[in-house]
Structure 1
């Protein structure tokens, strides 16, 4: 009688485990699941597919390792559990060299494989275009953005802080960056004051802006593949109104892009916004020299 409840519990546990393992397969037809629950589409830019595949495959590898680990733990717990009427302790082993080599080597192999694939994709994503079609200076500032179209020698209106309670924060009045679809775009990211982070959510890329550190790679090279409007934000806590440092990106046809550039020229937004809006972060005053003792 004592064995039957144990067998029933084991059957229920096995059924539950099988159901949990089958759940990903049953939902794999979902486009959202196939993207690893990432926003946007796989082909929003030329880089989103690389990022999505790296993300999803990393989770698959982690899931496989997790299932094997959990399975071994459960097997050890069940197979080597203390039986009724057992007296004393089981045989004690000080070490098991093959087992120790195994559980040291396997994690190193897994980490090495993940490193190789991550490094390969990151190099491909960070590679700059030798001759981009569009070059844009992006300036982050507390708490908005400025955009210069370098080759066209025009600029958007100087960005102003959004207000989430209304007013300037209405969606049609956020600072907006225009990009032509299918063209090679280079964004040169700079900060006017403190550290910021440029993030277009659906592009699956963000990059920090470090003021005064030009040795850091402050570029994003992308080719937008889908027309549409995408939301952007600062992803680095940069002060009191960080949450209102919002902007939009509109990916449009070449004709619409040329028309927008012409409109900027017609309204007088010629040339580039320079250093007029730069602000040196407030720093502590320099320590005063001590007066010599009398």
Structure 2
């Protein structure tokens, strides 16, 4: 009874200390130092970033607790059961211990099932497509840049690969020449991803989400941007010699600025859609290979 009383009093300051430490954490620390959570009080970048960050951070907390328990038991065993001076021979051998065997079988099973269940729950939510999105974008990946079709507005924005900045630091790029995908804030967006050549991967870093772009297949991303700003994007799949130059920016803007940008594309003559006429994969499933002249 006395031991339980002591444990209770020991738990109170420990809980208070933990609460104070967590209260003093920044947004970046509370979200596992993931991108998009640098400043206090900011709206989440998209409708999914809090969910993704929560899954990531909670998983690491659970794994750290498991690691601390495991290392604690290892160190405790080394200290308590070490060979003392004057001892000889082998210690008492224990061949079976059913409670321990059940414990180290059941607990890992619970962890695996738990991680799987929470991951599937969040993945289903993230991968669900909008029935009637406000904006539909078609992204055409190519070595080594991105073209963007604004399907609803019937305009397009062609892109070139990143250009080195001769006046900047080594490895810096000319920002004004990067392909730009403009999205209206607080609108449901569906992005259809297609490739003209090899496998790419469409990654907007602060969205905490990426999706492979596979030749002959259309993948989809559904997202609602919630914070106005400019967010860096890149190809996350090694796709050839200039893979590192396959960069782009996503600009989340107000509805009025979005309409102004669409009008600027029309004024520039970028009316219509960039289709598969530039596709280099003529023999992919679902495409028609050129017909060879008879006799060749």
TM bucket (normalised to shorter chain) is 0.7 to 0.9
Query: Is the partner of 2:84 in helix, strand or coil?
Result: coil
Unmatched tracts of structure 1, length 5 or more? 1-17, 284-294
For 2:200, the equivalent position in structure 1 comes to 196
1:175 partnered with 2:171: no
Q: Which one is further off, 261-270 or 44-53?
A: 261-270
For 1:75, the equivalent position in structure 2 comes to 76
Q: RMSD of aligned C-alpha atoms?
A: 2.3
Question: Deviation of residue 28 (structure 1)?
Answer: 5.2
Q: TM-score, normalised by structure 2?
A: 0.83
Unmatched tracts of structure 2, length 5 or more? 1-13, 38-42, 285-296
Corresponding pairs, count: 259
Judged with a 3 Å threshold, the aligned counterparts in structure 2 of structure 1 residues 84 and 27 are, in CA distance, closer, same or farther, namely: farther
User: Where does 1:79-90 land on structure 2 (aligned, <5 Å)?
Assistant: 79-90=80-91
Q: Which one is further off, 78-87 or 192-201?
A: 78-87
Asked if the contact 1:27–1:33 (Cα under 8 Å) also holds between the matched residues in 2, the reply is no
Query: Is the partner of 1:56 in helix, strand or coil?
Result: helix
User: Where does 1:1-294 land on structure 2 (aligned, <5 Å)?
Assistant: 25=21, 29-41=25-37, 43-156=44-157, 158-166=158-166, 169-214=173-218, 218-280=219-281
Asked if the contact 1:186–1:219 (Cα under 8 Å) also holds between the matched residues in 2, the reply is yes
- How far apart in 2 are the matches of 1:26 and 1:104? 33
Q: TM-score, normalised by structure 1?
A: 0.83
**Could you list the per-position Cα deviations for residues 28-64 of structure 1 after superposition, in whole angstroms to 9, with x for gaps in the alignment?**
5122111101011371000000000000000010011
**Could you list the per-position Cα deviations for residues 254-283 of structure 1 after superposition, in whole angstroms to 9, with x for gaps in the alignment?**
000001111111121111011232212899
Asked if the contact 2:162–2:173 (Cα under 8 Å) also holds between the matched residues in 1, the reply is yes
- How far apart in 1 are the matches of 2:76 and 2:243? 50
